[in-house]
Chain A
Amino acid sequence: MRDKMRENKKMSSLVILVVTLVLLFILNKTLDDYKLRILNLCGIYVTLGLSMNLINGFTGLFSLGHAGFMAIGAYTVAILTMPIPMKEMNFFMKPMVPFLSNIEWPFLPALLMGGILAGLFGFLIGAPVLRLTDDYLAIATLGFAEIIRVVFTNTQSITNGALGLKGIPNTTNVWWSWGIALITILFMEFLMKGSYGKAFKAIREDEIAARSMGISLFKHKVMSFTFGSFLAGIGGGLLAGLLGTIDPNMFRIVLTFNILLIVVLGGLGSIKGTTISAIIVTIMMEALRFLDESINIGSLHIEGIPGMRMVIFSVILMVAVVVKKEGLLKES
């Protein structure tokens, strides 16, 4: 009986996977560039949402450093994959350090490198701070993200400073963004079923009880945080490959806020919820763009109010938090 249920579940997962792939194939052929870009963004935000959900939702830590880890991933990919002549054009203020200016990596190793570096920084920041309570983690990670931004703005010969980097090869396509999103979903399902996932949840529910059961709090927290940072770095790298242009100001706290919105609306600790809400929120972010810009309908001119879009999103977040304290699609 149980075997049969498991079998059924496996079958339905497989069906969903195949349907998704077919759907992506069709969308890839039919959508125009602008819509494809949004589709790509959806995939990237699924990965990012899941990475934050691993830390905040499953393990119950409160990290606000996503923008920083994404910046590390994005800059690593940008610097490593950019063609050598393009680098010379970008760095007209100050030449790039020779060590980096003469290399050109393929996308996949560069992306992995971005993830690994982000994970490494996650480990370095997490190891001291995770010994303390969550509040400190929130502020330390927020601070870390700001430091990364400040450092990237000032290291002219490595990151081109405030000017940013242009002409990053546009490698990210639907297969990259959604491929990695699907791998992340599957891996998260696998992880959460295993003993690590159970340990993460135990820590979230009750730290003291988890510790008495012999779960090493520190080890699991660091592991969750490091892996979450790794995924954030991968997400950032994909974003760089999609946009083609990055600068330090992209990675402000707004970016972290967007991902937090996705995670909270989808339900802390729900893989399905995060996936669905990542897609909805990303599309809505684009669809509501008209609020910020002036539009003309015939002779009617409606003045857009800059910032209105984010006001609406923060109100949505507040209402979601206050009304539904557990999120929208909470799994037991």
Chain B
Amino acid sequence: MDKLLQHLVNGVSLGSLYALIAIGYTMVYGILRLINFAHGDIFMLGAYIAFYGLMFTSIPWWLVFILTAVITGFLGILLEKLAYKPLREAPRITVLISAIGASFFLENLGIVVFGGRPKAFPIPDVFNKVIRFGGVSVGVITFVIPVVTIVLLIGLNYFIKKTKTGMAMRALSKDYEAASLMGIDINKIISITFFIGSFLAAVGGIMWGIRYPQLMPLMGMMPGLKCFIAAVVGGIGNITGAVLGGFILGLGEIMLVALLPGLTGYRDAFAFILLIVILLIKPTGLMGEKVTEKV
């Protein structure tokens, strides 16, 4: 029983991380209809920026984390301006190629700048404590992750539902053309979308670094792919769906390893099998709407 509870806590924690990253995918897809392949690498950049901030500056850790998220947010905007904006009118396949090229560029630039060897993330002492209740003992970070995620989600929900920029964002994802005719500054809204997505990815990257303190330039690839799958499972373009998908994926992965230890090697395959099953049963995802294409 205690064991099950422990796995449950771990699963929720991992699921929250996936949810944070999946939101970035789903928001960009909602507006530009583009799989931002480089999103996972933005996540990696976030983790590395926090690493350098903690190692080489004397700024307190919480400020480093906030600054990291903001800087990464601006890097997200830069990525959009360089790799996607020139291709706004180009065929979709061209933009997808640009996205995969951007992802590859960031990964290899990571190898050149940060070095290919794994780096140990310097965890602030606060997160090193272990909490025990009953027979369950987990690190502080396991609790911090879901809490931070929930706070950010509430903030994001408020932003999208109640502010004018949020409304513009929703308008843009409903109908790109009509929204631009209504005087919405498309470039600004797209920049803000990339900022938010990259900000959340950086938060995810930092918490990932604390949880699994080993940084590698290619660390963003697998989580990136999985989180895109989480977004698809939940229904791409739908933020609630992305969160739901993230939790399903995180919990599913942990439970698979916990209940069927023989399949541990196949852990990374789980997400992809889930993807194919979902695509077969409900292609629009759990919370996605059916879109009909007009001629």
User: What are the residues of chain A within 8 A of B96 when measuring CB–CB?
Assistant: 62, 134-135, 138
Question: In the complex the two chains form, is A321's CB within 8 Å of B112's CB?
Answer: no
Question: In the complex the two chains form, is B35's CB within 8 Å of A306's CB?
Answer: no
Question: In the complex the two chains form, is A147's CB within 8 Å of B273's CB?
Answer: yes
User: What are the residues of chain B within 8 A of A136 when measuring CB–CB?
Assistant: 232, 279, 283
- Bound-complex Cα distance A143 to B221 (A): 11
Question: In the complex the two chains form, is A325's CB within 8 Å of B100's CB?
Answer: no
- Bound-complex Cα distance A253 to B116 (A): 17
- Bound-complex Cα distance A214 to B295 (A): 16
Task: Give the segment of A27-35, A150-158, A216-224, A281-289 that binds chain B.
Answer: A150-158
User: What are the residues of chain B within 8 A of A135 when measuring CB–CB?
Assistant: 29, 33, 35, 92, 96
Task: Give the segment of A2-10, A181-189, A311-319 that binds chain B.
Answer: A311-319
Interface SS, A side: helix
Q: How many A-B residue pairs have CB under 8 A?
A: 120
Interface: A322 (CB within 8 A): yes
Question: In the complex the two chains form, is B98's CB within 8 Å of A139's CB?
Answer: no
A134, A143, A307: the one within 8 Å of B112 (CB): A307
Contact with A along B82-119 (1 / 0, CB 8 A): 11001100111110111011101100111110001000
Question: In the complex the two chains form, is B116's CB within 8 Å of A146's CB?
Answer: no
B33, B112, B228, B283: the one within 8 Å of A311 (CB): B112
Question: In the complex the two chains form, is A144's CB within 8 Å of B272's CB?
Answer: yes
Interface: B276 (CB within 8 A): yes
Interface: B192 (CB within 8 A): no
Interface: A226 (CB within 8 A): no
Given contacts A139-B232, A150-B269, A321-B97, contact A311 B108 (CB under 8 A): yes
B residues 49-70 in Cβ contact with A at 8 Å: none
- Bound-complex Cα distance A260 to B94 (A): 11
Interface: B23 (CB within 8 A): no
- Bound-complex Cα distance A140 to B274 (A): 11
Question: In the complex the two chains form, is B87's CB within 8 Å of A315's CB?
Answer: no
User: What are the residues of chain A within 8 A of B104 when measuring CB–CB?
Assistant: 254, 257, 310, 314, 317
Number of interface residues of A (CB under 8 A): 44
Question: In the complex the two chains form, is B98's CB within 8 Å of A146's CB?
Answer: no
Question: In the complex the two chains form, is A322's CB within 8 Å of B86's CB?
Answer: yes
Question: In the complex the two chains form, is A147's CB within 8 Å of B87's CB?
Answer: no
A147, A208, A310, A322: the one within 8 Å of B269 (CB): A147
Chain A nearest Cβ from B183, distance in angstroms:
28
User: What are the residues of chain B within 8 A of A306 when measuring CB–CB?
Assistant: 111-112, 116
Question: In the complex the two chains form, is A307's CB within 8 Å of B275's CB?
Answer: no
User: What are the residues of chain B within 8 A of A268 when measuring CB–CB?
Assistant: 93
Chain B nearest Cβ from A243, distance in angstroms:
23
- Bound-complex Cα distance A208 to B228 (A): 27
Chain B nearest Cβ from A242, distance in angstroms:
25
The 9 closest A-B pairs by CB, nearest first: A307-B111, A143-B272, A314-B105, A154-B265, A310-B108, A317-B101, A314-B104, A311-B108, A307-B112
Q: 5 extra interchain contacts, Cβ-Cβ under 8 A, other than A314-B108, A321-B98?
A: A60-B93, A129-B276, A139-B232, A254-B104, A317-B104
Would you mind naming 5 contact pairs between A and B with Cβ atoms under 8 Å apart?
A257-B104, A307-B109, A315-B105, A318-B83, A322-B87
